[in-house]
Copies of this chain bind each other. A is one copy, B any other.
Amino acid sequence: MVNWKKSLKAKTPEEGYRLAIALAQESIKQIQPNEKIREKIRPKYSTNANTVIAASKVIATHFQTVAAANDYWLYHKHGHRSSVRLNM
């Protein structure tokens, strides 16, 4: 499900968020390669509060990684940070 492009680049936080979800799903796929079993356990993901929250925690961790990879979307198109760190 992850489109393994060469980078973790995402144009917007929304795109980054989708990538985080895909990264979370990827590990489930890797741990349980059998699609039929995955389909069988999926209902639990989406109907049990604790499981949903645990899954959303994994997404939050991946979103942290993706956000860092994109410098938190702070840069302008030209590759400069919008706020200057050092004035020398």
A:46-65 near B, CB below 8 Å: 46-65
Q: Is the CB of B69 within 8 A of A72?
A: yes
Number of copies: 6
18 residue pairs bridging A and B, Cβ less than 8 Å apart:
A4-B14, A6-B12, A17-B26, A23-B63, A24-B56, A31-B52, A42-B49, A44-B50, A50-B50, A50-B54, A53-B55, A54-B57, A57-B61, A60-B61, A60-B62, A80-B83, A81-B85, A85-B86
Given A24-B60, A37-B46, 17 further pairs, Cβ under 8 A: A2-B14, A4-B14, A7-B72, A7-B73, A24-B56, A27-B59, A37-B47, A41-B48, A42-B49, A45-B53, A53-B55, A57-B57, A61-B61, A75-B83, A79-B83, A85-B85, A85-B86
